[in-house]
Amino acid sequence: MTEMKWFFSFLKKYRGRLIFATFLVTIVSIIAIVNPQISGIVVDDIIKGGDHSKLPIMMVIMIVTTLLRAVLKYWFLLIFEKSSQGMLYNMRDYVYRKLMAQDFNFFNRNRTGDLMSRMTGDMDAIRHFVAFVTYSIYENSLLFVIALVMIFVADWRLALCMIAVMPFTIWATFLQLKEVKPAFHNIRKRFSSLNTFVQENVSGNRVIKAFAKEDYEIEKFNRENDGYREAELAATDIWKKYVPIFELMANALTVILYLVGGIMVIKKHMSLGTLVTVSGYLWMLNNPLRMAGWLANDYQRFVTSVEKIYATVIVEPRIFNKENAITKERFAGEIEFSGVSYRANDEEILKDINFHVKPGETVGIVGATGSGKSTIMNLLCRFYDVNAGEIMIDGIKLKDLDLHSIRSNIGLAMQDVFLFSDTIEGNIAYGRPDCSFEEVVAAAKIAGAHDFIEKMPEGYDTIVGERGVGLSGGQKQRISLARALLKNPSIIILDDTTSAVDMETEAKIQKELKALDGEHTVFIIAHRISSIKDADQILVLEDGRIIESGKHQELIDKKGYYYTVFHHQYGDFEQILASTRKAGGEIG
């Protein structure tokens, strides 16, 4: 039951308050027992007995106790609700932090919709439990026990007869808990699945429309929607067996009371008065038994959700700071890869990568799609750990460095641009939320984004859609570039960041970037030779290996892979050059 232990750790903070609230529940329950007695006195003594002198005082007691009960109940309801919200707030914080600290592999394995379900639907089941089910269970047990004690005091033989149904109820509760558990697990699974499906459908809306696959999506959705309904109904099928049994057990008490009690009165084993008294307590026994089935349900729903959330947070990130990790404010930017290999799912991504970069150098990386270019950068940011070899920054092993230090020193403009639904300013300032507006503009200017941002109706205050929808690919890339530059990192990684930018703009960006030279170590992954031509060293990757490296001219002279690429992109250059010169044109 480690899950429950984990859950209770969140309640600890509210223990005092919850105990107090439980005390209030006790008082309210006792008042609930007292009130009918007063009514009884009024009926017996005042109305039947004709003793009207007691009337005013009884009326005052009735009004006051009701008011007191109402106030106390309102009070404890709020305490339970506040505590549940408080603990939920803490739990959400805990789960969120856990997610933030998870490694990339975790997010590759878990679907967004599933994780979202943990944070929403499952949390709600816990809220319901703490705010409602806990005190309901207590209240009902309390009433039940008090009634039982009273009946024992009145007549123990009668009490024993009435207890006779108890084992059946307990047994049924036990059976129901057991049987309904997989059903609830299934509901949660279906819910997650539905959530994931809808989430993807919303994210992929463009592709769906482009392929006119709406009908197909609806068909798929119907399966998810049906599945969720069937799961809910399957659970209903289970508790519909039990709830009527609880109802019958509860009602059976009435029959037992009157049958056994009646016979006992007739046999003179018990007075009629005692029977009347005991029947007054009957509702206190009935109601808890009736509720047992529902509460068992709610309890199991809650347990399922706790288990689901716990299973998500218990996974420890594989990438974490080692003890006494070295923190460093700013790196010089010297980077070394020695014998680095990386595998994912038995698939070799990188093999024996070796290179050394001096501070302030620019490194160009080219290579075929899937040759491992981005992976090198992901390893440098320590999003994944190497399987063999060593990466060093400023002569310190990557694994010895504090993760935060590494990543805050690297400005990464990713290949797959993700923008948040926020203003453009907010997106550019993502890495440094407290920087000034001027700094944002300066970064945007270097990235060649300023001009088009200015042209937008709301300029830097324009809210962009999630993932930057509404912007063109080139615009997104430039915002992402500005975002990376604003960090003023010692290492800048541009992972195919200008692929969708037109060439003139790229040339400008290149120029601006060059002006930064010297202070930053820069990695440029690109397919266009123009992007990397001036790099201090160029690495050519193929199937996870470095097959060529050197400066542009060296690689051209080598007449290898790089040369071929160059030739394909610029092969007709000479010819063009010749033709334009002939025509007397000017270049550049």
Partner 1 sequence: MARNKYDVDESLETEFNLSHLKRLGGYIKPYRKDMILTIILMTVTSALGMLTPIILMRIMDVYIPNEDIKGIIGLSIIILLIYIIISVALRIKITLTARLGQNIIHTIRSDIFEHLQELPFSYYDDRPHGKIQVRVVNYVNRLSDLLSNGIINTITDLFSLLFIVIFMLAVNVRLALICLLGLPLLMILIFIIKKKQRLAWQISSNKASNLNAYIAESISGIRVTQSFTREEENTDIFNRLSGEYRTAWLGAVKYNFLLWPAINNISTWTTVAIFVLGVAWINQGVDGITAGVLIAMTGYVGRFWAPVNTLASFYNSLLTAISYLERIFETIDEPVLVKDCEGAIEMPPIKGEVEFKDVSFSYEDGVPILNKINFKANVGDSFAIVGPTGAGKTTIINLISRFYNLDSGMITIDGVDISKVQIKSLRKQMGVMLQDSFIFSGTIMDNIRYGNMEATDEEVIEAAKTVRAHDFIIELERGYKTEVNERGSRLSVGQRQLISFARALLANPKILILDEATSSIDTETEILLQEGLSKLLANRTSFIIAHRLSTIKNSTCIMYIDGGKIDEMGTHEELLEKKGKYYELYMSQYKFLEE
69-98 residues near partner 1, rule: CB under 8 A = 69-71, 73-74, 77-78, 81-82, 85-86, 88-89, 92-93, 96-97
Handedness of CA 461, 466, 467, 471 (dihedral sign): negative
By CB under 8 A, residue 152 contacts partner 1: no
**Strands of 388-393's sheet in order across:** 347-357, 335-344, 388-393, 396-397
Q: In the bound complex, what is the minimum distance in angstroms from residue 370's beta carbon to partner 1?
A: 5
* SS3 state at 426: helix
Between 9 and 472, whose beta carbon lies closer to partner 1?
472
Cα separation, 415 vs 477, whole angstroms:
8
Fill in the per-residue mask, 178 to 197: x = in contact with partner 1 (CB under 8 A), - = not in contact: -------------x--xxx-
Between 16 and 470, whose beta carbon lies closer to partner 1?
470
At position 308, the amino acid (one-letter code) is: K
Fill in the per-residue mask, 508 to 547: x = in contact with partner 1 (CB under 8 A), - = not in contact: --x----------------xx-x--xx-------------
By CB under 8 A, residue 216 contacts partner 1: yes
State which of residues 474, 479, 482, 491 lies at the interface with partner 1 (CB under 8 A). 474
Phi-psi region of 543 (alpha: psi -120 to 50; beta: other; left: phi over 0): left
494 alpha carbon, distance to own chain's centre: 29
| Backbone φ, ψ for residue 164 (5° rounding) | -50, -30
- H helix count then E strand count, the chain: 23, 10
Cα separation, 64 vs 48, whole angstroms:
24
By CB under 8 A, residue 163 contacts partner 1: no
Q: In the bound complex, what is the minimum distance in angstroms from residue 166's beta carbon to partner 1?
A: 17
DSSP class per residue in 37-62: HHHHHIIIIIIIT--GGGHHHHHHHH
At position 30, the amino acid (one-letter code) is: I
* SS3 state at 416: coil
State which of residues 100, 438, 553, 575 lies at the interface with partner 1 (CB under 8 A). 100
State which of residues 102, 274, 490, 521 lies at the interface with partner 1 (CB under 8 A). 102
Between 315 and 381, whose beta carbon lies closer to partner 1?
381
Between 338 and 472, whose beta carbon lies closer to partner 1?
472
Residues binding partner 1: number (CB under 8 A): 178
By CB under 8 A, residue 20 contacts partner 1: no
Structure tokens at 69: 């009960």
Q: In the bound complex, what is the minimum distance in angstroms from residue 420's beta carbon to partner 1?
A: 6
Contact status, residue 508 vs residue 531, Cβ threshold 8 Å = no
Contact status, residue 113 vs residue 200, Cβ threshold 8 Å = yes
Between 264 and 303, whose beta carbon lies closer to partner 1?
264
State which of residues 30, 41, 175, 507 lies at the interface with partner 1 (CB under 8 A). 507
Contact status, residue 487 vs residue 408, Cβ threshold 8 Å = yes
Site for partner 1 in 21-80 (CB under 8 A): 39, 42-43, 46-48, 52, 55, 58-59, 62-63, 66-67, 69-71, 73-74, 77-78
Between 169 and 408, whose beta carbon lies closer to partner 1?
408
In order of 31, 454, 462, 510, the CA distances from 444 in angstroms are: 69, 10, 14, 14
Between 83 and 537, whose beta carbon lies closer to partner 1?
83
Region near partner 1 per CB under 8 A, out of 9-17, 163-171, 439-447, 580-588: 580-588
Structure tokens at 469: 């929808």
Region near partner 1 per CB under 8 A, out of 13-21, 101-109, 384-392, 439-447: 101-109
State which of residues 138, 168, 355, 383 lies at the interface with partner 1 (CB under 8 A). 383
Between 245 and 303, whose beta carbon lies closer to partner 1?
245
* SS3 state at 527: coil
Site for partner 1 in 312-371 (CB under 8 A): 344-347, 366-371
Q: In the bound complex, what is the minimum distance in angstroms from residue 550's beta carbon to partner 1?
A: 18
Q: How many CA atoms lie within 13 A of 131 on its CB side?
A: 16
Handedness of CA 18, 23, 25, 26 (dihedral sign): positive
Fill in the per-residue mask, 270 to 299: x = in contact with partner 1 (CB under 8 A), - = not in contact: --x--xx--x--------------------
Contact status, residue 403 vs residue 320, Cβ threshold 8 Å = yes
By CB under 8 A, residue 229 contacts partner 1: yes
By CB under 8 A, residue 416 contacts partner 1: yes
Q: In the bound complex, what is the minimum distance in angstroms from residue 194's beta carbon to partner 1?
A: 6
Between 77 and 166, whose beta carbon lies closer to partner 1?
77
| Backbone φ, ψ for residue 342 (5° rounding) | -145, 135
By CB under 8 A, residue 99 contacts partner 1: yes
Strand ranges in 300-457 using DSSP code E only, listed in sequence order: 335-344, 347-357, 362-367, 388-393, 396-397, 410-413
Site for partner 1 in 546-565 (CB under 8 A): 561, 564-565
**CB count, 10 Å around CB of 414?**
18
- Residue showing tokens 């092993």: 397
